Amino acid sequence: MEQIRNKIDLLYRENKLEEAYTYLLDCFEQAMIQKDDLLVLGILSELLGYYRVHAMFDLGNKMAKNALQLLNNMKMEDTIIAATTYLNIATLYRAQKHNQEAYDLFIKCMHIYNHTLDEQDERYIALYNNMSLALHELNDLDTALEYATKALSLLLESNTNQTYIAITKTNIAQVYFSMNNLDEGVLMLEGAIELFIQYDPTSPHYNAALASLAQSYYIQKDYTNSLRIYEDVMNNIQKKYGKNADYESVKSNYEFIKTHLNNRGFGMQLCFDYYQEFARPMLENNFPSLLEHMAIGLIGFGSECLGFDDELSRDHDFGPSFCIFLPKVIYDVHHKQLQAAYDQLPTTYQGYTRITSEQGHGRVGVLCIEDYVYSMIGTLDLSTINWFSFDESNVLALTNGELWLDHEGMLTKVRKTLQYYPSDVRLKKLVKSIAKMAQSGQYNYARCLARNDLVAANFALTEFMKETISCIYLLNKVYQPFYKWSYQGLRRLPILHELASDIQSLLIIENEDKIEVIENICIRIVKELQHQNLTTQHDAFLQEHVNGIMKLIKDKSIQRMHIMEG
């Protein structure tokens, strides 16, 4: 087996993948002829890795079944050889998004390790890393971080291969991103990339690190750099492995961002061009010493900040404009001078003149960062945010749009912190939405019709539609905009956007037919809950999924909230 692994490693290093596969199959056939069960088992483990990397899942699952049967026949289910086999099968399952099945096998592997190996044994490293990845997909982020951190601790103590340290740091960065802790994630990721460049720039895991870097740029709304890196990753994967599952995953992210960038609204592009042509030269010439304190861009409540502007929305509070944000200590001294210079810029650009409504004052021009943030969320202490206390559309206004410049980074840091709800908050809001969907749509609507109370029935239907839209935004991990843009935004979301037509149909079809549409919507919601590993139930009645999701919440104070709160 050692000779076989050495030969395989050599072929892999020479990028002779087909030759490696053929060699493994030949060895497998010879081992079967010789009835050498241990050798068969070892070769099966190697084949499982090949099938996983090349997304040949049907063959891989067949081989996994054979390996488990062989372990049973040999009565070796509690041996180190079995642990290695469980680990390889689990990674195959994880590649297919069968994360619960994978995690169950990882636990079996860990039990064997615990009564067989020293607690500092390096074999724990691969196990902990893989357990972390599965837990990440299962949305158990705290435990995922715990196992990845254990793996990193063992690696640093053993002073082992630097590539493994880089892989583990990448895994930890991804967990931090899911926790909305962008700063810690980027810090960990930068360390990983530095190690890959120095020690193993050809490693396939380097692509995962780069993909995470692209994700961090996307979170920061730096779409150009995000796309550039995703393109590099796709090219790297395709050259070495072809268009496998990893390639398709990266491509999906790339195309989503590409679509988002192509949908940059007319108003945002107009304002950016205006800034580049007139404002930027003015600021660089007249206020060079203040530039390092400025955050410049266009964010807020305007339709152009969401990319929703159209002919109807351009009759007020629209046109050439932008925001200059300053820290309060700078704002108090210089805002009048800066605002006067801002007011001297051309008022008409590309045929558009901004007409400011009575409600539109203070949306553009020179603004104080602290005052702006406080007006949106009612606090400046980002370490003690009450995520249930502020209006969702306000947080969206603070985090939407684009910043074209932020040397000091003060506003960018706020936007990163508020990028999306923490996991437990999101889960609680999701519980509230699906509980209200069940109450209003699946239960009360039909009962109100049976009583011939059409007013109450329409109240129930409106509540169901409102909560369904909220639920879809939560499943997409995207803040929901002000109600007049919620439906339009829904149609642009990557997950469940197809339900937009069903929601609209509830306004026009016969009352009795609406019951079936409501049920179909709920069935699709359940399937997505299952896909995101938020439920194991199959019942179409959404109320049946509430308790299971509540149990995923780690924060005890949030877990104690009533299901209708959030």
CB of 129 closer than 8 Å to CB of 172: no
* CA geometry: angle 273, 276, 280, nearest 5 deg: 150
Distance of CA 81 to the CA centre of its chain: 36
d(CA 11, CA 21): 9
Distance of CA 533 to the CA centre of its chain: 14
pTM comes to: 0.67
348 bridge partner residues:
353
Q: Which domains can be identified in the chain, with CATH numbers?
A: 1-117 (1.25.40.10), 145-262 (1.25.40.10), 266-417 (no CATH), 423-559 (1.20.120)
Beta-bridge mates of residue 251: none
Q: Helix (H, G, I), strand (E, B), or coil: what is residue 139?
A: coil
Between the CA atoms of 116, 119, 121 and 123, what dihedral angle is there, to the nearest 10 degrees?
A: 70
SS3 297: strand
Burial call 542-552: b when 16+ CB within 10 Å, e when fewer: beebbeebbeb
Q: DSSP string covering 319-386, please?
A: SS--EEEE-HHHHHHHHHHHHHHHHTS-SEETTEE----GGGTTSSEEEEHHHHHHHHHS-S-GGG--
The tokens for 308 are 């929703």
What is the distance between the alpha carbons of residues 400 and 267, in angstroms, rounded to a whole number?
A: 14
Confirm if 290 and 301 have CB atoms less than 8 A apart. no
At residue 186, φ and ψ (nearest 5 deg) are -65, -40
d(CA 209, CA 187): 12
Contact 549, 427 (CB under 8 A): yes
Question: In the block, which residue shows the tokens 């909560």?
Answer: 467
Q: Write the CB contacts of 22 (distance below 8 Å, at least 6 apart in sequence).
A: none
pLDDT per residue, tens digit, the chain (566 aa), is: 888 888 888 887 777 878 888 888 898 888 888 888 888 888 888 888 888 877 888 988 998 998 898 888 888 888 998 999 999 999 999 988 888 999 999 999 999 999 999 988 989 999 999 999 999 988 888 999 999 999 999 998 886 778 889 999 999 999 998 887 888 998 999 999 999 999 988 888 888 899 988 888 887 777 778 888 999 999 988 888 788 878 888 888 888 777 766 666 788 888 999 999 999 999 999 999 999 999 999 999 888 888 877 777 666 677 889 999 999 999 999 999 999 999 999 989 888 888 776 665 778 999 999 999 999 999 998 877 889 988 999 999 999 998 998 988 899 989 988 989 999 999 999 999 999 999 999 999 999 999 999 999 999 999 999 999 999 999 999 999 989 889 989 988 889 999 999 999 999 999 889 999 999 999 999 999 998 889 988 999 999 999 999 999 999 999 999 999 98
* DSSP 8-state class, residue 563: T
